Structures are given as C-alpha cells and as structure tokens.
Amino acid sequence: MPDTSNLNSDTVRDFVQSALKNCGFDVVTIPVSAHKTPDLALLLAEGRILIEVKSKDDDKQLRGLVESPNGTRLSYKISTIESLLKRAWHQIRDFPSRSDKDFAVLWLVAARPGLTAFTRPAAMTVLYGVQNMEGLIEESGSFYAKECFFFGNSFFFRRKEVDGVVLHDDRQVTLCLNPLSKRHDEFRRTTFAELFRRDLELIDPKASEEAGKCFIADCDLPRKDINSIVRYLKRKYGLESVTLIRFVLVNYPAE
C-alpha cells in the first residue's frame, strides 16, 4: 500500500474504490451534497453497502509506549480511533438516501506504514471490548481460557447499525464484523465478506463462538456492571467460575 500521509480524503477514497474495482466489484462514488454523505456505494446482488473512508494517523499514546524505555508503565486511553469511527458513522447515518436495508461499512486506511493503532489488541479493544478470562466449566469441571467479546464498552456495542469496519494498512486488510448488527447473518454471506474470508482477513466473532473459541456477552446490561455481566456469561455458557485476566501495558522485551 502506498504512503498516504500526504494524500487528501478524496485521494484515499479513490484508492479504496480502485482496490474494490480491481476485485471485480461495482462501486460508485457518492456525490458530495449539502447533506452528509458516505464516500462510496458498493452494489451487490445481496444489497447495497454504503462505505465511508477515513485516513488514520498514528496513535500517539500507543506509540509513546512502544518507544519508551524498557519497564516504563503508561496509562492508555483509546480515544482517537473511536472518535474517527464515530465521525465516519455519522456520514452514513445522516445520509438522506440511506435505507434500513443498506449495509454500513467504515473503512480506515493507515496514513503511513507501521500504524500502531491498527495492531490487533488496540483494534479489538476499541471495536469489541474484548476481555480475556479463564475458569472452570460447571458440568465437566474442565479448564477454559477464552476471549469474551463485548465484555467492556466498545464501538460496535454502542453502534449496532454498523455492520463492519475495515482496517487497511501496509501489511494486511481486515474486515471486522459486528455480530450485534441485525443484518449480521445477511452481511457475513455477502460476496464482499466472502472476499475477506477467502483472500484477506475476516474477524467474525459469531463464527468463533459457534466453533467454541470465544464468548460473546450479547446482553444489554450496562458494561460497568461487571458482576451482572459475569452472571449472564455463567448462565449462557454453563461456567462454574470466571477469572478476569487484566494486562498492564509495559514495554518489556521478550528474550
């Protein structure tokens, strides 16, 4: 992927449009108007996907941790990438021609190679509120250690109308599906999602849950009410015990 640090928003949009056309998709630019508009419309047999493209610069908080001396402890609040996602969603949400049948996708392009905000831990926290946990299964007494999606507050939890987010950097292009979207089952079967499943990278928490690889806290409880969420997960998955694994960001080299 070329360095997009000096490119304007139209050029980044055109870059994504060209990439989609090269994959054989029918994608058109949506003209700018007095109202908010998404950048692109991807026309599929399964329906229309509205796409808003944004360029993301580096995450200075995470970059500060990565470049700090060994053993440095820093607090980290993920905010910049979520603010960008929020603005991107509003471009689609407030589009007058949008219908309830349209799929909504936010496409984030890294402004330069090696973008720390697109690393898996940061993205998983922002989009999915992932919490690592371990404990015992009630019926068998066997040990488990799994990720739980939506244990904490997250972008997808707060905006269930968004069907997916694409993270596009110099190393890979990843489509993150929102299992809380009411259109999730339809969207995951589109040729667009199939492209990522087959040739790129697809994060599909529902498929992982169905394979027994993760938990999903798909309840409407306040995310701050940890005890209630734990009780919900115990009932849903038949868990005897739950231990939350908390990590502290420390720049400590592995030897």
Residue-wise pLDDT for 191-222, tens only, equals 999 999 999 999 999 999 999 999 999 999 99
68-118, pLDDT tens digit by residue? 566 565 555 555 788 889 999 999 999 999 999 999 999 998 866 555 555
Residues in Cβ contact with 151 at an 8 Å cutoff, skipping those fewer than 6 apart: 129, 130, 131, 133, 217, 223, 229
Indicate the number of domains in the chain: 1
Asked if residue 232 belongs to a domain, the reply is: no
Asked if residue 218 belongs to a domain, the reply is: no
pTM, rounded to two decimals: 0.85
Q: How many CB atoms lie within 10 A of CB 186?
A: 15
Asked if residue 241 belongs to a domain, the reply is: no
- Domain span including residue 25: 9-128+155-207
Report the percentage of the chain scoring pLDDT > 90: 71
Residue 2 — pLDDT band, cuts 50, 70, 90? very low
Q: What is the pLDDT of residue 83?
A: 86
Asked if residue 170 belongs to a domain, the reply is: yes
Q: What is the pLDDT of residue 200?
A: 95
Q: What is the pLDDT of residue 1?
A: 40
Asked if residue 45 belongs to a domain, the reply is: yes
Partner residues linked to 54 by β-bridges: 108
Mean pLDDT over the full length of the chain: 86
Report the percentage of the chain scoring pLDDT > 70: 80
Asked if residue 69 belongs to a domain, the reply is: yes
Asked if residue 141 belongs to a domain, the reply is: no
Look up tokens 């969603």; give the residue: 89
Asked if residue 150 belongs to a domain, the reply is: no
